[in-house]
Structure 1
Amino acid sequence: MTRMLPVTLLLLLFMLGSIHSLKICSFNVRSFGAAKRDNSQVMDVIVKIIKRCDIMLLMEIKDSRNIICPTLIKMLNGKSRRGTKDYDYIISSRLGRNAYKEQYAFLYRKNMVSVKKSYHYPDTQNGDEDAFSREPFVVWFYSPQTAVTDFVIIPLHTTPETSVREIDELFDVYMDVKRQWKPENFIFMGDFNAGCSYVPKKSWKEIRLRMDPKFVWLIGDNEDTTVKGTTKCAYDRIVLQGQKINSSVVPDSASIFDFQKAYRMTEEEALGISDHFPVEFELQPTGSFTGLVRSFAPKKTGRKKSQKP
């Protein structure tokens, strides 16, 4: 039995090598329309950024002809190994109060997650109609390979001048989703414009998502999610609700992806992609490396180890 142990551990490590955490990301690509779509260098960088993630929320898509996401999917799948990283997407309607319209889109790895349900928040509460500039596009994901197997993502891209009201209204979206689907795990993410002059310190007390302790903010107020060196604002945020999803976050995984530094770009080149950096975090896979290793560890024989003088 003792001689078989190394083989067993090798097999265990091989099995664990196929188990990965789930990386969930949010990225405002800033005015993502025909000009960026037709720029191969810009698209290549965006694809590289998306490929780091298992679920990527893209915002500020301006695409009346529905070309951008199919193009991204073709690029993502064309550069992936067969059967391992095939992407799909789900996209909202074109949202906005006037001729200016945007879309939310989720690009995701099909071998990691699937979509259970989705809907557009109606934003028609009596006395509080049309609170959102772009109503959240709510998506319920199933994730069989993670410690938390399903979760709802509620995206938001606010208008800066009304960001306090819009972030506060996410609480009403949360209550609406709970009534309809009764899920237990929630992720709120996007470009909340939740920093600097748009949400001054005195205004946080007006935001229910902030004042209620059951909502956990992963990106802090002192972070900088902006590309420009002259700004330091935590515009982009991730907020969690649900005991299981909170306990399933990989420690220290919530972060900002500085693609300018990672890809050795000048500030001007980076701004050609976006004026926002993506924000991200990871969920733990099913099982535990430590627990599995312990189950295969040899039992103590009772012999004392020789001690060095």
Structure 2
Amino acid sequence: MFCISLFLLFFFNATLSIKICSFNVRSFGEAKRARPEVLDVIVKVISRCDIMLLMEIKDNSNKICPLLIENLNGMRGYQEEYDYVISKRLGRKSYKEQYAFIYRSNVVSVKQTYQYPDIQPGDVDAFSREPFVVWFKSPKTVVKEFVIIPQHTTPETAVREIDELYDVYLDVKQRWKSKNFIFMGDFNADCGYVPKKHWKNIRLRTHSEFVWLIGDKNDTTVRNSTNCAYDRIVIHGEKLINAVVPNSADIIDFQKVFGMTEEQVWPPFWPFWNDEALCLEEKQ
């Protein structure tokens, strides 16, 4: 499932905030890159956010992110500077995808990246696309540093992959000694892929210190015929939890924001889904 999620972190002035988003652009490869009208929408969506996680990048030429950065930095009326980090091509056999983070470099910076190896003894290759973990520095927010762990699960193995994110958390926590974690992405975490009876098997859900900001009743799909919370944001860390702008975790509806029809946002036309975002509070 594909969606843009967001949340806000407060800045020094409570009227400002930093917005963190995730966006699964279905099969984002050469064909979509070559369509100016599609690229224009993607650039506009990214420009709404301070940090954007992009998923399902499928471009062997490695031209997508440089092209997006060129377009973002060249937007008329904008004085922001964007940069990016991108994972290696991930996946089993011939099917590969990449995660990428595009961010405003005058607002946040990347302290470190870590490609989770997915070689835990007794549970090797748990992920179809293992997380590409990024440690961000955010000098203007109450929370100075936070780690984002992205995940795009395979629907049929969503329960196992979401549960395994707890092991990623333990690994990264020990490696970096970080206390603030954001898990976000296309979890496929609802309806037939994660039935209610299976939530008890997901440690990220059963451990109360993890807060789920996109709930089970949210609809992160774009089709009128579906109502599923596939895309999620989960946070951990007392300081981070307290820094989230209340009720800022939300779904950005493409059809409403950009005046698009269901046919336009549904494959094979403009294969997008709604956007999720979260805001963090500025330091007082």
Normalising TM by the smaller chain, what interval? over 0.9
Cα shift at 1:276:
2.1
Tell me the secondary structure at the aligned position of residue 152 of structure 1. strand
List alignment gaps of at least 5 residues for structure 1.
Answer: 1-15, 288-309
Q: Which residue of 2 aligns with 1:284?
A: 281
Q: Distance between the aligned counterparts of 1:74 and 1:268, measured in 2?
A: 29
- Counterpart check, 1:107 vs 2:95: no
- Hey, what does 1:92 align to over in structure 2? 87
Q: Does the CA contact (< 8 Å) of 2:13 and 2:283 recur in 1?
A: no
User: Which amino acid letter does the alignment assign opposite residue 232 of structure 1?
Assistant: N
- Output the TM-score relative to the length of structure 1: 0.86
Change (3 A) 1:185 1:18: closer
Q: Does the CA-based 8 Å contact 2:188-2:231 persist in structure 1?
A: yes
Residue 60 of structure 1: SS of its match in structure 2? strand
Structure 2 length normalisation: TM-score?
A: 0.93
CA contact (8 A) 2:141 2:282 kept: yes
Q: 1:17 to 1:184 in 2, by over 3 A?
A: closer
Counterpart in the other structure of 1:32: 28
Give the match's secondary structure for 1:197. Answer: coil
Greater relative contact order structure (CA < 8 Å, 6+ sep): 2
Counting only pairs closer than 5 Å after superposition, residues 171-186 of structure 1 correspond to structure 2 as 171-186=166-181
Q: Which of residues 49, 53, 57 in structure 1 aligns to 2:53? A: 57
Aligned to 2:9: none
- Which residue is equivalent to 2:197? 202
For 1:197, give the aligned amino acid. Answer: G
Q: How far did residue 81 of structure 1 move?
A: 4.6
Distance 1:275 1:34, change over 3 A: same
Specify which structure has the higher proportion of strand.
2
Q: Could you say which structure has the larger radius of gyration?
A: 1
> Partners of 1:274 and 1:248 in 2: how far apart?
33
TM superposition shift of 1:19: 6.8
Deviation, structure 1 residue 18:
10
Q: Alignment partner of 1:195: what SS?
A: coil
Contact 2:14 2:282 in 1 (8 A): no
Is 1:219 matched up with 2:214? yes
Q: Return the offset for 1:274.
A: 2.9
| Structure 2 unaligned spans of 5+ | 1-11
Aligned partner of 2:246 in structure 1 is 251
Whole-Å separation in 1 of the counterparts to 2:92 and 2:146: 29
Query: Within 5 Å, which residues of 2 pair with 1:67-216?
Result: 67-79=63-75, 81=77, 84-216=79-211
Following superposition, the deviation at residue 20 of structure 1 comes to 2.4
C-alpha separation in 2, matches of 1:106 and 1:216: 22
Query: Is the contact between residue 28 and residue 274 of structure 1 (CA under 8 Å) also seen in structure 2?
Result: no
Mapped partners of 2:129, 2:76: distance in 1: 33
Match of 1:261 among 256, 261, 266: 256
The DSSP-based 3-state class of the residue aligned with 2:274 is coil
- Structure 1 distance, partners of 2:147, 2:273, is 24
The alignment status of 1:234 with 2:234, answered yes or no, reads: no
